[in-house]
Amino acid sequence: MKVLPILWLTGQPGSGKTTISNFIKKINDKENVLGNNTVLVQIDGDDLRSLTSNVDYSQDGRIKNIKLSQSIAEFCQAKGFFVIVSLVAPYLDLREELKNRKTVLEVYLHTSEKRGKEDFFVKNYEKPINNFIDLDTTNKTVEECSNEILTIYRKMATLA
């Protein structure tokens, strides 16, 4: 069985992570973007907090949610699912650890627009440094962003 890369969307609140993840799911449900009836699994920060009742935004609370997301993503990846994680995940070391263990396409989303989520910004967010896609969502539509991500993802998936 072919192991697909984990698609990890990271960035500050309001950058488009959930919106793009939802759009990619919609495309996949309609067109099956990877073929072979690949099932897509979404892991979203809001859903995860709702599921676990962990609304602790402290460093410890965030680390707990990131590690849980990584475990779920790795499990689903091993089962052959197309996994999308949309999570702020502000700590570079945790994201890098996952990329060292698994095949991951990390996409750093950011915007200069005010989108009403500024109260949730993470002051100590650590931007990616290596092996990631930088995507400014300010002047792009959700469709443009999703297509750009999927183009790169499909190339990675064929090489995996």
AA identity, residue 23: F
Return d(Cα 106, Cα 9) in angstroms, integer. 6
The reported pLDDT for the residue numbered 99 is 97
Return d(Cα 147, Cα 134) in angstroms, integer. 14
The reported pLDDT for the residue numbered 160 is 65
Q: In the predicted model, is pLDDT for residue 150 greater than 90?
A: yes
State the first-to-last Cα distance of the chain, in angstroms, to the nearest integer. 11
What confidence tier does 55 reach under pLDDT thresholds 50, 70, 90?
low
The structural domains of the chain, with segments of one domain joined by +, span 6-159
Q: What is the pLDDT of residues 85-132, one digit of tens each?
A: 999 999 999 999 999 999 999 999 999 988 877 777 888 999 999 999
6-159: CATH topology: Rossmann fold (3.40.50)
Largest CA distance in the chain: 43
